[in-house]
Amino acid sequence: MNVTRGFTGRSRARHPGLPPGQYDAGADWPVLSAEVTPDLTPEEWTFRVDGLVAEERTWTWAEARALPGSVYEGDIHCVTSWSKFGVRFGGVSLDVFLDAVRPDPAATHAVAYAHTGYTSSLPLADLRGGRAWIAFTYDGAPLAPEHGGPARLLVPHLYFWKSAKWIAGIRLLDHDEPGFWEQNGYHARGNPWEEQRYSGD
């Protein structure tokens, strides 16, 4: 995925909740991936939380889907300048998984890793307190493979490259360990409202 600084996208009426430098994608949901979409079935999918935790744990698809469900209704924002409003994802709050493994008090950051090998790095605080999900559905239907199905990380208050598609696990650390795009010049956090697109922003 090539991203050019200053990209503004199509001209559209401005949504009142639009972060700076973004455009309203409307009904569109652009497909942008750093890797080829994998052929990953729910039966093959697993999710693991490891690193600085009291008990590392892996969930199968059936085990993860049996956990208490949660819904995110709101907006998402991509670093390539599109925003999408009024989306609805269904899944499980990441707090449920983190509570089960009991993070070490020394843990401050996380690396989300995908079944494809893709990684994204995040402050642990951005994954706690009802701010992140493992999402299985979009608008009531199974999440499409090109959008990260069968399951993706969802961290909607940050630029969408942080929401790793085809999520395989979260590793908790006591330091920041840059992920794929962070190693290639993107911002360590990625707050859309502060236009944290690139390192140094």
What pLDDT tens digit does each residue of the chain (201 aa) get?
333 333 334 444 567 789 999 999 999 998 887 788 999 999 999 999 999 999 999 999 999 999 999 999 999 999 999 999 999 999 999 999 999 999 999 999 999 999 999 999 999 999 999 999 999 999 999 999 999 999 999 999 999 999 999 999 999 999 999 999 999 999 999 999 999 999 988
**Do residues 51 and 107 lie in contact, with contact meaning Cβ atoms separated by under 8 Å?**
yes
141 exposure class (CB count in 10 Å sphere: 0-12, 13-18, 19+): exposed
> CA 72 from chain center: how many Å?
13
Where residue 56 falls (left for φ over 0; alpha for ψ -120 to 50; beta otherwise) is beta
> CA 125 from chain center: how many Å?
14
Residue whose pair of structure tokens reads 């890797």 in the numeric block = 35
Residue whose pair of structure tokens reads 């794929």 in the numeric block = 180
